[in-house]
Amino acid sequence: MNRKKVLITGGAGFLGSHLCDRFLAEGYEVVAMDNLITGNTKNIAHLFGKDGFKFVKHDVTNYTFVEGNLDYILHFASPASPIDYLKLPIQTLKVGALGTHKILGLAKEKKARVLIASTSEVYGDPLIHPQTEDYWGNVNPIGFRGVYDEAKRFMEAMTMAYHRYHGLETRIVRIFNTYGPRMRVDDGRALPAFMSQALSGQDITVFGDGSQTRSFCYVDDLIEGIYRLLLSDEPMPVNIGNPSEISIYDFAKEIIELTASSSKIIHKDLPKDDPKVRQPDITRAKSILGWEPQVSRTEGLTRTLEYFKKELHGVQ
């Protein structure tokens, strides 16, 4: 049987676990790799024992090897929420830099195609809006977010070097804010924070005046975009995200309304270097991949709310 095999680093994380589901459903053999510092095996518990699925606990900043053939690698291992990478600055830099080097070396050895998970954070606090892939960004290298932003920028540079110098088949996705089931309730991002606060009647903590904007993409849409990018011929970075932009204050109000919560909005200090605006320009994704988001924020938030209710109160 000629089954294709894919390695997913960060396979026990929010996005990694959804990728495991998708590739298994498409008939691939899947190896999920994770060191479990921010990922959790409960995200992939339903896959244990399934034909074609294997989990390996490993830190990809160390020498990484997988037995047998390998067709594709998706490199998704990294702390990804601001609170996590502020708590784990060295690990974040290491997995983006050393981990990416290990993964590219493994791909070269196996003649596998690699897709790396980059981020809208490569644009930093952007001076052009919406962000197109040809924008080089406005990043503070020594700021608190620099540990993530610069790791991901290095990751892109290293990936392009392997592509240009070794002829490796590479893909770079720049992921914008994504949400959905399996986000950690306590990962500190706006959506998990607001939903858990609203559901437990606590104050909703909007940082700053809440006029900063984000554009939120439902996880199923993101996974579809990544799947198409991997199978495309495009080596240059592609933004994947939902262009529907909203201020954080209005987003908090939307969640209060959706949950029919009596929580009040309170304001806390805006973290340093917090980007003021963010919206993907998805012209390239549309023309190269024929992709655009299908799930509206109302629909996506409703689905996500079911998950958070279950996580917080065990109710369906």
Residues carrying an active site annotation:
148
**DSSP conformational letter for 42:** G
Q: Which stretch binds ligand UDP (CB under 6 A): 21-29, 56-64, 204-212, 302-310?
A: 204-212
Residue 180 and residue 303 in contact, taking contact as beta carbons nearer than 8 Å = yes
Tokens 């689905």 belong to 303
- Does 212 help bind ligand UDP (rule: CB under 6 A)? yes
- Could you check whether the bond before residue 280 is cis, i.e. omega within 30 degrees of 0? no
- Does 214 help bind ligand UDP (rule: CB under 6 A)? yes
40-58 in b/e burial notation, b at 16+ Cβ within 10 A?
Answer: bbebbeebeeeeebbbeeb
Closest separation in Å from C-beta 215 to ligand UDP: 9
- Does 177 help bind ligand UDP (rule: CB under 6 A)? yes
- Does 75 help bind ligand UDP (rule: CB under 6 A)? no
Distance CA 61, CA 100 (A): 8
Closest separation in Å from C-beta 189 to ligand UDP: 3
Question: CA nearest 198: which of 248, 268, 249, 262?
Answer: 262
Pick one of 94, 153, 163, 189: the residue that binds ligand UDP (CB under 6 A).
189
Pick one of 147, 248, 256, 277: the residue that binds ligand UDP (CB under 6 A).
248
Q: 162 or 194: whose CB is closer to ligand UDP?
A: 194
Distance CA 194, CA 254 (A): 10
Residue 55 and residue 10 in contact, taking contact as beta carbons nearer than 8 Å = no
- How would DSSP label each residue in 82-149? HHHHHHSHHHHHHIIIIIHHHHHHHHHHHT-EEEEEEEGGGGBS-SSSSBPTT---B--TTSTTHHHH
Q: 23 or 194: whose CB is closer to ligand UDP?
A: 194
Q: Which stretch binds ligand UDP (CB under 6 A): 13-21, 44-52, 84-92, 202-210?
A: 202-210
Q: 152 or 189: whose CB is closer to ligand UDP?
A: 189
Pick one of 206, 226, 285, 295: the residue that binds ligand UDP (CB under 6 A).
206
Q: 154 or 207: whose CB is closer to ligand UDP?
A: 207
Q: Which of residues 253-282 bind ligand UDP (CB under 6 A)?
A: 270-271, 274
Identify the burial level of 207 via C-beta atoms within 10 angstroms of its C-beta, where 0-12 means exposed, 13-18 middle and 19 or more buried. Answer: middle
Pick one of 135, 144, 154, 207: the residue that binds ligand UDP (CB under 6 A).
207
Through-space distance between the first and last CA atoms of the chain, rounded to whole angstroms: 40
Q: 39 or 210: whose CB is closer to ligand UDP?
A: 210
- Does 184 help bind ligand UDP (rule: CB under 6 A)? no
Residues of this chain that interact with ligand UDP (CB under 6 A) are: 81-82, 177, 189-190, 193, 205-207, 212, 214, 248, 270-271, 274
